[in-house]
Structure 1
Amino acid sequence: MRVILPFLLLFALFWTDAAAQQQVTGKVTDSRGEPLPGVNIIVKNTSTGTVTNVDGTYALKVSEQNAVLLFSFIGYAPVEMPVGAQTSINVTMKEDLQNLDELVVVGYGTVKKSDLTGSVASITSAELKATPVTTFDQALQGRAAGVQVVQSNGVPGGGTNIRIRGTTSVSASSEPLYVIDGMLINNNTAEMSAGGRGPSLNPLSTINPSDIESIEVLKDASATAIYGSRAANGVILITTRKGKSGKASINFETYYGSQQVTKTLDMLNATQFATLVNEAQTNAKLAPVYTNPASLGEGTNWQKELFRKASIANYQVSLTGGNDKTRYAVGGGYFKQNGIVLGSDFDRYSFKLNLDTDVSKKLKVGTNLSFNRMSTNGVLTGPGNVVQGVVTNALQFNPILPVYDPTRPGGYTFQHDRKDAVANPIAEAKEYQAITTTSRMLGSVFAEYQIIQGLTFKSSFGIDALNTKSNTFGPNFLKRTENSMGEASVTTLQALTWLNTNTFNYNRQLNKDNSINVLLGFETQKFRNESVNAYAFGFPDSRTGWHDIGSAENPQTTTNGELQWSMLSYFGRVNYSLKNKYLFTVTGRSDGSSKFSEGRKFGFFPSAAFAWKVTEENFMKSATFIQDLKLRASYGRTGNQSIPPYRSLALIAAIGQGVFSTTGQEVIRGREPVSYPNKELKWETTDQLNAAVDLAVLKGRLNLTVEAYNKNTIDLLLDTPIPFTTGFENTLLNIGNVRNRGIDIAVSSVNLDGKVQWNTSLNVSMNRNKITNLARSGDVNLGVGGNILREGQPIGTFFGYVFDGIYQTDEDAKSSPAIAGQTPAAGDRRYKDISGPGGKPDGIVNDFDRTIIGSAQPDFTWGLNNSVTYRNITLSLFLQGSQGNQMVNQNLGDLANVNGKQNVLAEPGLGRWTPENHSNKYARALSTANDNVFSSRFIEDASYMRLKNITLGYNFHAGVLKKLGMANARLYVSATNLWTLTNYSGYDPEGNAYGGTTNIVGVDFGGYPQAKTYTVGLNFGF
């Protein structure tokens, strides 16, 4: 009996538990009756749960008498169903049209969308994945109001220029702050890229877009002030995929595509160019060069030789899951993009791990870790090189010459025979190597402890470790290496950022009408990098390349550099809700930065915001057509400290040539001061006022947000001339103010929600930029593309002469005003005589006649997305554009200069002035022409409308998925940059050769064109 009794007791317990459990089954469908796989079902207030199968069915054992099942699925309104005595519960889930209760990530926390007081725009992972991109910043273009994204070139792995509510600085960076899973990212290209002779790195290209779950853009001071001194340009918060409790799931994503140049420029062929050269020679009373132009035919199409169809591919696998205590998300990916220009490509390997676990009811720990390794290979392009980039060279090169010349070393035609500086672009693209390899580990660990009910303490420690190696080699048979006789460089960079964040968060419902959330934090951050650059000239043997740099005949001095800075911060935020309709937010942050002077290192950045949920008022209850009406207002201060370290200090450096000793027998390397100390150097400060209205009507089918803002930046950091008596020409000072005013509009609508579903979203951004105080007399001439800084004008203002057509007769040329020192004739360019020293036209065209001739600032930018779904088929159409901005087409300095020295565009080349063709736009052919002054003839309307992406996708039916044993599967085809409507004559109306700078904007000079891409993709999961 003693032996049997324990078994009887165990059986009784099992029978009692089994009798208490109740099996509930059912099916979950959407509003069209289609099954929903992957719906989370949890017994409310417990950890018991399951997910629906591929056919939407589920089975769950419930043991509590008053159990309530909670059904949740992304994009659908949650459903609660009491169980009672039911054993079968079918549920229909409706799309969440309002999404007012969804959580939005804000600085150091989250908040319900309905409780937002600041300006925050959200971009989902579905929107990010709609367009195949190399880096996630490219996917932001046109997705959020108030966010202007310009992809200035199409270099694989290249970056974008992002401006949130305008440009706020002229010397410091105007790029936003990036925060990835709480880690503040250093996106300073100068600090995070290898220097030397290799291509620069876009630090954001090391982040895998497929790992991102959502992006929030913080725009006004109320939302950004929690980041203080780094938030004047806005903040972009990135949340990566996290694990969830429930059944483990495996997902695989892949696409493969083909790229090609969006357009090519119409250039003169060999016969046309030879005819032009002869005419230019004859007009200059010189002998013709080509005896029989007609016999030359089409010649070489250098663009066709340089551009290629190139592949792009992406592979991503992820595993997510967990239980009631531990949740995990792990994934890896590979991305490969071959560039449309010969010799350029980009590839990235990535690994991601997110893990968190509940050690106890009060303690939670976790980690976010990613490792990415990328490699980019690209010829050195753009105006920053002594020799122009390969794209520019392809446009200028003589079409009469062949690509290859077997009689020369290397087997290529050496150079353009009409202009010495133009190198063979195919030789440069194929033979000049520039490879940069970067490894980046980004990760953090955290612990969160609940001290008492409602009060938690969280501490995290994160690192951003980057290692970059850049190798270049140019063999001795290239034009680029003509003087060096072959060149090689090896550059390494190690950069490390660490960040420690500690926060207390108190969240409590005080009573029925009052709730409060208090955040207090303390943060420290330090950055350090170290670089070494070795380079050498003279390589008679090209076979070893950079692998044996010591074999060079002319080694150069090895250089190295170090940078470091640190920050100490204290911050806090209070959110208070009264009756769930009056919302108040007060934020403050104190930042101390080592970059600034003693006594000026700390700054305080406060903000306050108020929101009124009008629809919660009793007088609005009868307005049933309005589901949400909220008024918001905020005011606050943020800063900008994005300048290089040590600018407040007196620095010394070695004298370049050295000095002779007293004996005259030796050279001594001395030291000399190189910067003037500024003991008053401090932050740029931006004050911003924001007013907004959020409106949802027609049962949430139509949502509208309109925001107006006014941003004033003071204490502008600007390199400023100082008296020569100091021993220096200029120094960095806090002078000048910039103002940005504008309106952001975001509209989303559910046009159809039956068998055919049609959703539309539109955003429009209007910003007006103005330099309100330059604190100096006269303009700041930036020296490139006519860009100047002038008080009362926007950044990106173009300054030059006004082009006034072509002189049609010699008599007209002699009797009209002309450029001082020139004697024009019929067929030469005319410029307006606007004013002289007395303010009136004086018959001479000189510096007094230069004036403002354009601006790079757009009137507005916009993005429009339409998504139509019928059964399992979805078609999405994304349009994006800019209106009213102008571009300096600096390429026209050569490509419209019909002097016979280089090839030119067909329009000016064939439409040039002749005695028979009295063009009033294009000058005559003249080999001795020297008129290339900067004027309005270089300024073009760069407004555009672009079909950014069109995607047709098919979601496999539940029955098919069940047979295949899959949870989901989607097949799609997509096209990117398919069509662009613009009057701009260059490759791309977005092209900006100086995209990395803040104050030189809207200048196109030999850029890498964007690609048109066709892809086919497949996503599936188990």
Structure 2
Amino acid sequence: MMKHYLKKVMDVKAKRKLLFVQFICLSLISITGLAQNNPIKKAQKETSVSGTLKGKISDIYGEPLFGVTVLNKSKGEHTITDRAGKYTIAGEPGETLVFTLSGYLTKEVEVADQQLNFSLTESTQTEKTYNSLYGPRKKSTSIQSYADIYSKELAQSPTVSYLNALTGRLPGLTTLQANGEPGNDFVGASIRGVAPQILINGIPRDITSIDPEQIESITILKDALSTVMLGQRSSGGVILIKTKQGEIGKQKVSFTAQRGIQSSTRIPNTLDAYNYATLFNEALRNDGKAEIYTAADLQAYKDGSDPIGHPNVDWYKEILKPSSIFSRYNLNTSGGGNNARYFVSVDYLDQDGLYRTSDHNSYNTNVNYKRYLLRSNIDVDITKNLSVNLNLFGAIENGNYPGGGGIYGALATTPNNAYPIFNRNGSLGGNNDFQNNIWGLSTRSGYTLSYNRTISADLSLKRTLDDVVKGLFVKATLSFNTGLGDATNRTKTFAVYKETPNLNGGYDYQKFKVDGVQNAGSSTNTAQNKNLYSEFQMGFDRSFGKHHIGALVNGNIQNVYVNGPSLPLDYKTLASSFSYNYEEKYMFEAAMSYSGLNRYIDNNRYGYFPAVGVAWNISKENFLKENVNWINNLKLRASYGKTGNANIGYFVYDQYYTDGVGYYFGTSATFAYTKTESTLANPNATWEKAKKLNIGLDADFFHNTFNITVDYYKNRFYDLMQQRGKSSAIIGNTYPLENIGITDYKGLDLQATYRNHVNNFNYFVSAIISAGSNKIIDQDEVYREYDWMRRTGQSSSQTFGYIADGFFQNTAEINASPKIAGYNPVPGDIKYKDLNGDHVINEFDVTSLRSNKSMVYYGLNFGVNYKGFDFSALLQGARNRTIYVSGITEWEFQNNGLGQAFEHHLDRWTPATAGTATYPRLTVGSNVNNQASSSFWLQNGNYLRLKNVELGYTLPGTLSNKIGLSSIRVFANGLNLLTQSEFDRVDPETIGSIYPAQRVINMGINIKF
């Protein structure tokens, strides 16, 4: 029955995949047919006059660029480069040609000869525009604080989530990958210490499954001026993703295939059976108990003479493979004519996990994550003044996981001598204390499937109104997004057996648990959401001589439906902005929003959020232009504003009642529930707010080869939703969250880049630094007698506990020292400082443990290219970072003495090692003194990673053109290749009994047609 059912499921999956492929093919065929009025043919007709200019355009690697628009500025005529990057256009020497291609810097050249060959540079920080909330803006006149990155750098990282590709590349953005499991390895991100809002093509969406080759750029917006138009979602900064669009030109097709090997960056070093048993005996002696392992037992563990009765199983090695496979394939095409442009991309990713599997199963029990992505972006000019944009996106994500779950937790808690994997008769080993054989958890507990589907569609219409007022336009957008996720559990049980010799020379087997009971299968809805977004814009952008004015009015509504019966979130925002600059020298910008959310009480749903900014480009002043030629740009800017954050629960202004304890009444045993009052309502609840100051400097030197951007920020977040510390249980209920907290954030963001070349040798180096800290100003804290106990004035990430003061060395020292009340320490226990001098260690000696210094995240990116070869590398790290380690991967013999022990326990305190010990004396189980929260368990979290390396080679165009291809590039890259950290027992990001971060070594090829 099971095999028949599985075959039926596989048939259904195959049909779905076939339909998906057919849909992709039809999309490619139909969309590419939209390119009308082929500009190549038109250009050929236009250039059939006497007097021509011609040449070849390539990128900095020598790869021909086709689709480059070549405009003769003097005559107004244009053409497009062909597949070989060549162009011919009517013109004469002395005239000016302008070369433009999306993703590259526009170049304007006065022609000295009839032959003109050169290369275009890809978009970098020196590009003229960046993406703001509602459209591109000129960098030269920007007052906002932002940082951006482009597709080429994103694609260098062989990672599932684009957030992981941003690590160490953007100042102000910090990331943390706390789990490395395929399908669950998405990265947490913060901008200046606060979680950001994610926008995709200008629409709020929390989607991280986007292939880097579908992304044109990612911009982070950091200050109030850049985000305030989001209203009640403007406080945390913005990650703004812009996907690729089609371009005028001949159809381009790009195919990328890559395959890599993954392995864990670090795994815990456990003790072998002999050392485990030796230390366990020592811990028992320390606790005043009898040893349980004899000398014969220790010898058997040491020499491996009795692998069943005295096993020595390296569980991490036996359960985990040393490596697994990562592969990704992307096919995209773009192009278009004067009336329509298109970009279509399909992407397939397959990522295996590290769990070993068994031939015993007809199904997969390893972790596996498969992702299928389809994106179609179309732009159509219906008339000269009216254009339409349609963006379609679909994602299918399938995951496979062992049915048992909790494998990494079991690896961290199961000693190497607990039981053998298999007994002599092939049954799973185990005993009364260990009834979950890890091999059984991994391979004999069935499997769990996860399915996630996402579909989105964005439709926008834009009408320029130059025929009414020059520079005026209107735009309307309608967007729909839906997601559905479910999990199917097909688990089964397994039995374990304890093998013991019998008197007949054979073996008896004691059974624990039930073997082979299969779950009939259950399906659970894990995610369900719908997102409907509508927007209307009216804008004006025009220059009047030396004056430039920009204005925008934006109104939008977003309905977000989430799991269950909850009513949807309903955001409504009306926003506007106005900007002015004089000769790009003096700049002013103001923005505001009036924003509401239906989760607040009727008469308090809308708030007003303003921001203002000014800038002065000193390099435009005559006194600097005329006297200093090595300064190309020097702009000072400042902004200040008030932003909002709708951190609110579910209609908290209403009082709710829930079912309480039930009782039976009468002879008929009628059952009735009581009603219990839920958390107290808060009709005064409102949105959190922030006042944000940003002061920045943008500078370019030495013919724009050296660029630097510096931002200082100081932000006060207030009206934060917190529960009162000065609450009382006398009311018989729980106090609600109230707008009472205040926290200050301040810091510095810096980015410096140097780019130059020597003949055909191009090189660059770019460094970023993000230094930030926060401080709690007010949180209605309970009364604490001493200053060092108070949370106010500390960082929000502060850890509190005792200050460790070494180890007790002898009885005399113990008698003379303060101790934890109710605990009698012995030599080798951790000694703590008595802060208030009452000779007792208690709550009055608890203080802050972490430094309040600014935490510093940094990155150093550098690279070169020469005659087709290119190389880049990224170093990323953190300073002033601390991590708190505790629990099953840090302490010895947990779980009532059944837990694991690790190599660092060999450095425990004993009378012989009293002067060099780095770990307290060993005990079995919990220890109220040694395992108390204290500075002893606070470790240096500084680290430096070789985060990313890529080496590539692009074949000469003469070779690729001979076989009908535009270019061929082969490359190898890697992720998390090397890590140097002060605390090297674990990965600095994935800490504890969880799936570790992965090291990836990857190779690939990119072919362009």
Task: Give the TM-score category using the shorter length.
Answer: 0.7 to 0.9
Q: Which digits, 9 at most, give the CA deviation of each residue in 1:713-747, with x for residues without a partner?
A: 01001133644465422211111101101111100
| TM-score where L is the length of structure 1 | 0.84
Are the equivalent residues in 1 in contact too, given 2:370–2:398 (CA < 8 A)?
yes
The amino acid of 1:37's aligned partner reads L
2:532 is equivalent to residue 498 of structure 1 = yes
Alignment of 1:96-495 (within 5 A): 100=126, 102-157=128-183, 158-167=185-194, 175-185=195-205, 187=206, 203-204=207-208, 206-283=209-286, 284-290=288-294, 291-297=296-302, 299-308=312-321, 309-341=323-355, 343-378=366-401, 389-402=406-419, 404-405=421-422, 411-414=427-430, 417=433, 423-430=436-443, 431=445, 433-451=447-465, 452=468, 453-477=470-494, 490-492=523-525, 493-495=527-529
Please, which runs of 5 or more residues in structure 1 have no aligned partner?
Answer: 1-13, 168-174, 188-202, 382-386, 532-560, 781-786, 836-840, 992-1003
C-alpha displacement at 1:927, in angstroms? 3.6
- d(CA) in 1 for partners of 2:390, 2:1001: 37
Are the equivalent residues in 1 in contact too, given 2:403–2:489 (CA < 8 A)?
no
C-alpha displacement at 1:216, in angstroms? 0.7
Are the equivalent residues in 1 in contact too, given 2:878–2:944 (CA < 8 A)?
yes
The amino acid of 2:65's aligned partner reads P
What does residue 796 of structure 1 align with?
A: 797
What does residue 853 of structure 1 align with?
A: 849
C-alpha displacement at 1:20, in angstroms? 7.2
Q: Which digits, 9 at most, give the CA deviation of each residue in 1:753-777, with x for residues without a partner?
A: 4332210110001112111111232
For residue 759 of structure 1, give the secondary structure of its aligned residue in structure 2.
strand
Q: Which digits, 9 at most, give the CA deviation of each residue in 1:927-976, with x for residues without a partner?
A: 47633222222110000010001111111111111112111221111121
The amino acid of 1:930's aligned partner reads N
C-alpha displacement at 1:341, in angstroms? 4.7
2:76 is equivalent to residue 71 of structure 1 = no
C-alpha displacement at 1:327, in angstroms? 0.4
- d(CA) in 1 for partners of 2:105, 2:391: 29
Greater displacement, 322-331 / 442-451: 442-451
What does residue 607 of structure 1 align with?
A: 611
Are the equivalent residues in 2 in contact too, given 1:627–1:698 (CA < 8 A)?
yes
- d(CA) in 2 for partners of 1:47, 1:303: 69
C-alpha displacement at 1:642, in angstroms? 3.7
2:959 is equivalent to residue 930 of structure 1 = no
C-alpha displacement at 1:977, in angstroms? 0.8
Are the equivalent residues in 1 in contact too, given 2:421–2:439 (CA < 8 A)?
no
Are the equivalent residues in 2 in contact too, given 1:25–1:89 (CA < 8 A)?
yes
C-alpha displacement at 1:518, in angstroms? 0.8
- d(CA) in 2 for partners of 1:517, 1:918: 71
Are the equivalent residues in 2 in contact too, given 1:101–1:114 (CA < 8 A)?
no
2:763 is equivalent to residue 734 of structure 1 = no
| 2:902 aligned to which of 898, 902, 905 | 905
Greater displacement, 521-530 / 925-934: 925-934
Given the superposition, is the C-alpha separation of residues 276 and 723 from structure 1 closer, same or farther in structure 2, using an over 3 Å criterion?
closer
| TM-score where L is the length of structure 2 | 0.85
Are the equivalent residues in 1 in contact too, given 2:762–2:864 (CA < 8 A)?
yes
C-alpha displacement at 1:876, in angstroms? 0.6
Are the equivalent residues in 2 in contact too, given 1:278–1:289 (CA < 8 A)?
yes
Q: CA RMSD in A?
A: 3.3
What does residue 866 of structure 2 align with?
A: 870
Are the equivalent residues in 2 in contact too, given 1:690–1:707 (CA < 8 A)?
yes
Alignment of 1:448-847 (within 5 A): 448-451=462-465, 452=468, 453-477=470-494, 490-492=523-525, 493-509=527-543, 511-531=544-564, 561-621=565-625, 622-655=627-660, 657-661=661-665, 665-720=669-724, 722-724=727-729, 726-778=731-783, 790-835=791-836, 841-847=837-843
What does residue 502 of structure 2 align with?
A: none
| 2:118 aligned to which of 77, 81, 92 | 92
C-alpha displacement at 1:788, in angstroms? 10
- d(CA) in 2 for partners of 1:232, 1:916: 53
Please, which runs of 5 or more residues in structure 2 have no aligned partner?
Answer: 1-41, 305-311, 357-365, 497-511
Are the equivalent residues in 2 in contact too, given 1:50–1:247 (CA < 8 A)?
no
Are the equivalent residues in 1 in contact too, given 2:714–2:746 (CA < 8 A)?
yes
For residue 222 of structure 1, give the secondary structure of its aligned residue in structure 2.
helix
What does residue 7 of structure 1 align with?
A: none
Greater displacement, 397-406 / 950-959: 397-406
What does residue 190 of structure 1 align with?
A: none
The amino acid of 1:956's aligned partner reads L
- d(CA) in 1 for partners of 2:654, 2:219: 37
- d(CA) in 1 for partners of 2:870, 2:454: 37
- d(CA) in 1 for partners of 2:237, 2:587: 22
C-alpha displacement at 1:502, in angstroms? 0.3
Greater displacement, 398-407 / 679-688: 398-407
2:1008 is equivalent to residue 1021 of structure 1 = yes
Are the equivalent residues in 1 in contact too, given 2:961–2:967 (CA < 8 A)?
no
The count of aligned residue pairs is 916
What does residue 195 of structure 1 align with?
A: none
- d(CA) in 1 for partners of 2:916, 2:60: 65
C-alpha displacement at 1:100, in angstroms? 4.8
C-alpha displacement at 1:568, in angstroms? 1.1
The amino acid of 2:251's aligned partner reads A
The amino acid of 2:239's aligned partner reads I
The amino acid of 1:292's aligned partner reads D
For residue 142 of structure 1, give the secondary structure of its aligned residue in structure 2.
coil
What does residue 541 of structure 1 align with?
A: none
For residue 361 of structure 1, give the secondary structure of its aligned residue in structure 2.
coil
Sequence identity, in percent? 25
Are the equivalent residues in 2 in contact too, given 1:751–1:760 (CA < 8 A)?
no
- d(CA) in 2 for partners of 1:470, 1:617: 64
Are the equivalent residues in 1 in contact too, given 2:647–2:721 (CA < 8 A)?
no
| 1:27 aligned to which of 51, 55, 75 | 55
- d(CA) in 1 for partners of 2:868, 2:258: 20
Are the equivalent residues in 1 in contact too, given 2:647–2:687 (CA < 8 A)?
no
The amino acid of 1:327's aligned partner reads R
For residue 463 of structure 2, give the secondary structure of its aligned residue in structure 1.
strand
- d(CA) in 2 for partners of 1:364, 1:763: 39
- d(CA) in 2 for partners of 1:762, 1:118: 21
Given the superposition, is the C-alpha separation of residues 474 and 289 from structure 1 closer, same or farther in structure 2, using an over 3 Å criterion?
farther
C-alpha displacement at 1:847, in angstroms? 1.7
Given the superposition, is the C-alpha separation of residues 975 and 34 from structure 1 closer, same or farther in structure 2, using an over 3 Å criterion?
closer
For residue 762 of structure 1, give the secondary structure of its aligned residue in structure 2.
strand
Are the equivalent residues in 1 in contact too, given 2:860–2:874 (CA < 8 A)?
yes
Are the equivalent residues in 2 in contact too, given 1:503–1:520 (CA < 8 A)?
yes
- d(CA) in 1 for partners of 2:123, 2:331: 31
- d(CA) in 1 for partners of 2:847, 2:550: 55
